[in-house]
Amino acid sequence: MINLKALQRNKTVKYGVPMLLDPSLEAKVNVQKQAVILEEEYEKLKETNLDEWKNIRGPRPWEDSKEYQEQQRSSQNKEA
């Protein structure tokens, strides 16, 4: 006998089966269009110059974000 509570907790049953049983959802999601978008984004990333990339830390939750941004801008202007 199948335990219904175990089936309700099973992720495959909970999320996978409805996807298989809902062709209207598949019609809404154009898989070929998504592949084209991913290829376009990959081409954009290939063109970027990562050698000149610089990591800039964002403000911490306890820091004032506007004040921190002004500090970052002033330190970048001094370097340039």
Q: Output the tens digit of pLDDT for each of the chain's 80 residues.
A: 567 788 778 887 777 777 677 767 666 666 666 667 888 888 888 888 888 877 777 788 888 888 888 888 888 787 76
* Structural domain contains residue 61: no
**Contacting residues for 25 by C-beta, under 8 A, at least 6 apart:** 19
For residue 60, what are the CA distances in angstroms to 7, 32, 67, 68?
A: 43, 41, 12, 9
* Structural domain contains residue 71: no
Domain span at residue 27 reads: 1-49
What is the value of pTM for the model shown? 0.31
Rounded CA-CA distance 78/72 in Å is: 10
In total, how many domains does the chain have? Answer: 1
* Structural domain contains residue 21: yes
